[in-house]
Amino acid sequence: MYDPSAIESRWQTWWEENGTNEPDLDAAARPFFNLMMYPYPSAEGLHVGNLYAFTGADIYGRFRRLQGDDVFEPIGYDAFGIHSENHALKVDTHPMELIPSNIRNFERMLRGAGLMTDWSRTVDTTDPCYYKWTQWIFIQLFKAGLAEKKEAAVNWCPKDQTVLANEQVIAGLCERCDTAVEQRMLSQWFFRITDYAQRLLDNLDWIDWSETTKTAQRNWIGRSEGARLHFPLSGAAGAAGGVAGAGEGTEGGGEREGDRIEVFTTRPDTLFGATFMVLAPEHPLVERLTTDERRADVEAYVRAAATVDLVERQKTDDREKTGVFTGGYARNPATGEDIPVWVADYVLMDYGTGAIMAVPGHDQRDFDFARQFGLSIVQVVCSRAALPEGADPAEVGGGEAETAFVEHTADEILVNSGRFSGMAADAGGRAITEWLAGRGLAAAEVNYRLHDWCISRQRYWGPPIPIIYCDDCGPQAVPEEDLPVILPYVEDFRPTATGVSPLARNPAFHAAACPACGADARRETDVSDTFLDSGWYFLRYPSTEFDDRPFDPARMRKWLPVSSYIGGEEHSVLHLLYSRFLTMVLHDLGHLEFEEPYHRFRKHGLLIRDGAKISKSRGNVILPDEYIARFGADTFRMYLMFLGPFQRGGDFRDSGLAGPQRFLKKVWDSVTAAAAAGRTGFGDPGVERALHAGIKQISDDLEALSYNTAVAAAMDYLNTLRAGGRTASIDEVRPLVIMIAPVAPHIAEELWARLGGESSIFDHAEWPAWDESKLVVDEVELPVQVNGRLRATIRVARGAPEDVVREAALAEANVIRRLDGVAIRKVIHVPDRMLNLVVS
């Protein structure tokens, strides 16, 4: 009888005792690095979403191994970070106690799930042997000028007195206490990922990734081509700068930075339609442009804008437009007109230049703003077809428009734009940029939405940033021989009222000698972002035994880049982009020979349950442990993969487990029966054909991660094998055992052994090959007689057995009619020749 729990624990133990899943990393001939996204070891234990992803990756790894690859499949724990820390705060346990027990729990659950994990090489990001190298990476970037300190706005919860990540701000409120979030300026460490924006974008053209993930990265990087244009300040503000020219009609030449507003625009073609300008509230020129009579209003507006959180600010399209007039003016360099300068929070300080030329005739946000505050709206672009017969483009448009012209047509031309009128819009934009560039007022420019990566966290639970501040020498890297900078045990690890890291309250940690001059200095007390831990963990797996280097060059050459990486869509941008960036940097600094970390990336789909999102609040969480205890890991794995296409996800229903459970039981019965009967060879051409069709289908499907259809194909083959209650031969069932092994590894090991195979199946079985010639369906025409008279002709597979032929004959209308009211007395079947039914 099939007893999954006995079989599974026996094989898990066997694998461990025999090091089945620990490839020799130096001797491997065909290395295949099979990576899955390591989990954050929450207190709740392994989540079914984790297991869904891991199982999908594991099946692919096992499939490659059965094809002869040396598969390395490690796992680790992303155990630092705000999630772990907040949980520790909630349950009032120190993370240094909580995390190790969470990890033990995870490991127990993972071992029960039947993954091909190499347990001799796990990674725990909170282990000083690991974060020593996280700190080392920080130092490499610091030395290369890629880590810098700058002031940046952060989300601040005034009640919890802490900095919040964007993801922790829900609809403007702190996720923990529902207090309205504010902005604060803090000095923080940044990695200059924007220096790599173009390369991160370009490489997407050739790496083998899920298309949707590439698209998400392209959008996140957000490349925009356009121009930087200068608008000289006019009137009092311009004169205050002490520069003649800006206010006196000498067309800009000689104006200085600070005497002009620079804008980034993707639409220089619309310059003649720029009727006002808008500065971000934080823009340095706000102060200078504001006139005395407007000062009180402007200052109040700027203060209020600082209480809007960053996430909300990003929604520049949808938010209701607010703003104030500064009282100041700047000159449109094309029309020569003075246009009012406003301040509004729909302009963001951290994109482009933090200032825009507003073109209400052609930009929806500017249009909304102009309508709200009664500013002029003019049209400067028009479809050529819409132009009245014989009209002069220079005379069209302008005036006060009632609508924004935001729809684009292919035949757009400039109107009401001086000598550029009549030109095609894109050519006109280039011509306007060149014209202004000739006067030092413009330059073509590319902008990226991508921001530099903020590394600092004013929290406790992370690797200390390895920097020492000296009054004389400035920030100094901790010497590499002094790494790791150990995260000390501090009793009170709560975030502080000042936004300063808890480590700053620990004088023993805080005080340090300057590595350059030896003077008394201060240690950096912020810790680094968790995404830095996860940005390089895969590099560590093949080198876990080395204490003196983060990754061993020979191992890197053999095992990296990662052969296959499978993970969730939620990591499309941050983790996957940061790890690409770090790999590129380490490559450029001579530490790695490759610049893209993952040879192939595939995202998996999402599980829902009974049609609804799985969440704790809904109470529909799936506890993998319970299902594995009830059904066995093999059935659970198979069901997870069977409920929908792996890359799209599917709906988990308890009732669905019965199918895979029945299937595995039938596999058990058929294989053990075949072993007992001991017949070999292929007696039946129909079965042999079904086998080759099955091998082809299952091989192709596993390669494409189409696991649900692979399982369905295995089920089909089994049905053919068992048709009419026949007992299969050993040669007919052995390939089936091998082909279900990736999905159901325990039962496959057991049945493989019972068929006389040497263990492990993953080391000794060879993935079956199919023979195309066996796939050709060989059919014969067979006459069907009733009482010796021809009543029908059927097509059946050559060599089809009597029950198959008879079933086909009994489906023929003409035969059915003759059988009405009579009984079949005798069946005469001459294989491939004829069938005669004797009735009376």
Q: Which of 110, 302, 341, 356 binds ligand ANZ (CB under 6 A)?
A: 356
348 touches which of ligand ANZ, Zn ion, none (CB within 5 to 8 A by kind)? ligand ANZ
Least CB distance to ligand ANZ at residue 150 (A): 17
Q: With binding defined as CB under 6 A, does residue 267 bind ligand ANZ? A: yes
517 binds, among Zn ion, ligand ANZ, none (CB under 5 to 8 A by kind): Zn ion
Give the pairing type, strands 76-77 and 123-124: parallel
The interface region with Zn ion, picked from 2-10, 179-187, 465-473, 485-493 by CB under 5 A, is 465-473
- Whether the CB-CB separation of 274 and 366 falls below 8 Å is answered with no
Per-residue burial over 499-536, b = 16 or more CB atoms within 10 Å of its CB, e = otherwise: eebbbbbbeebeebebbeeeeebebbbbbbbbbbbbbb
Distance (Å, whole) CA 403 – CA 704: 51
Q: How far apart are CA 837 and CA 786, in angstroms?
A: 5
Q: By CB under 6 A, is residue 270 in contact with ligand ANZ?
A: yes
Residues in Cβ contact with 359 at an 8 Å cutoff, skipping those fewer than 6 apart: 267, 270, 273, 274, 275, 366, 380
| 285 forms part of the interface with ligand ANZ (CB under 6 A) | no
Cα–Cα distance for residue pair 551/32, rounded to 1 Å: 17
Site string for ligand ANZ, 305-344 (x = CB under 6 A): -----------x----------------------------
Binding of ligand ANZ at residue 348 (CB under 6 A)? yes
Answer for which of 359, 414, 487, 691 binds ligand ANZ (CB under 6 A) is: 359
* Nearest-angstrom CA–CA distance, 760 and 10: 13
Asked if 265 is part of the footprint of ligand ANZ (rule: CB under 6 A), the reply reads yes
- Supply the DSSP string of 638-657, one letter for each residue: HHHHHSS-TTTEEEE-GGGG
Judged by CB, which is closer to ligand ANZ: 140, or 332? 332
Site membership for ligand ANZ, residue 433 (CB under 6 A): no
Three-state SS annotation for 283-302: CCHHHHHCCHHHHHHHHHHH
| Among Zn ion, ligand ANZ, none, residue 629 binds (CB under 5-8 Å by kind) | none
Q: Are 442 and 495 in contact (CB under 8 A)?
A: no
Q: Minimum distance from CB of 360 to ligand ANZ (Å)? A: 9
The least CB distance from residue 346 to ligand ANZ, in Å, is 6
**Applying CB under 6 A, which of residues 121, 230, 362, 599 lies at the interface with ligand ANZ?**
362
Choose the binding region for ligand ANZ from 32-40, 170-178, 358-366, 561-569 (rule: CB under 6 A). 358-366
Specify the residue for token string 């200059």. Answer: 192
Q: Which residue has the tokens 């659950």?
A: 109
* CA dihedral for 325, 330, 332, 338, sign (positive or negative): positive
> Which range of residues in 110-118, 143-151, 258-266, 542-550 is near ligand ANZ by CB under 6 A?
258-266
Residue 651: beta bridge partners? 608
Kindly tell me which of 427 and 519 has the beta carbon lying closer to Zn ion.
Answer: 519
Residue 519: CB minimum distance to Zn ion, A: 5
Q: Which residues does 465 contact at the CB level (< 8 Å), separation at least 6? A: 135, 138, 189, 455, 456, 524, 526, 527, 528
Q: What is the closest distance, in whole angstroms, from the C-beta atom of residue 142 to Zn ion in the complex?
A: 16
Q: Judged by CB under 6 A, which of 323, 354, 484, 632 binds ligand ANZ?
A: 354
Per partner kind, with CB cut-offs from 5 to 8 A, the member of ligand ANZ, Zn ion, none near residue 514 is: Zn ion
**Is there binding between residue 445 and ligand ANZ (CB under 6 A)?**
no
Per CB under 5 A, contacts with Zn ion among 513-542 are 514, 516-517, 519
472 binds, among Zn ion, ligand ANZ, none (CB under 5 to 8 A by kind): Zn ion
The answer to whether residues 552 and 150 touch, using CB atoms and an 8 Å cutoff, is no
* 357 near ligand ANZ, judged by CB under 6 A: yes
837: nearest Cα among 825, 807, 724, 792: 825
Give the one entry of Zn ion, ligand ANZ, none that residue 347 binds, where binding means its C-beta sits below a cut-off of 5 to 8 angstroms depending on kind.
Answer: ligand ANZ
DSSP string for residues in 265-281 = ES-GGGGGG--EEEE-T
207 secondary structure, DSSP code: S
Residue 325 · residue 304 · CB < 8 Å = no
Q: Which residues bind ligand ANZ (CB under 6 A)?
A: 224, 264-267, 270, 316, 347-348, 351-352, 354, 356-357, 359, 362-363, 447
Q: Which residues bind Zn ion (CB under 5 A)?
A: 470, 472-473, 514, 516-517, 519
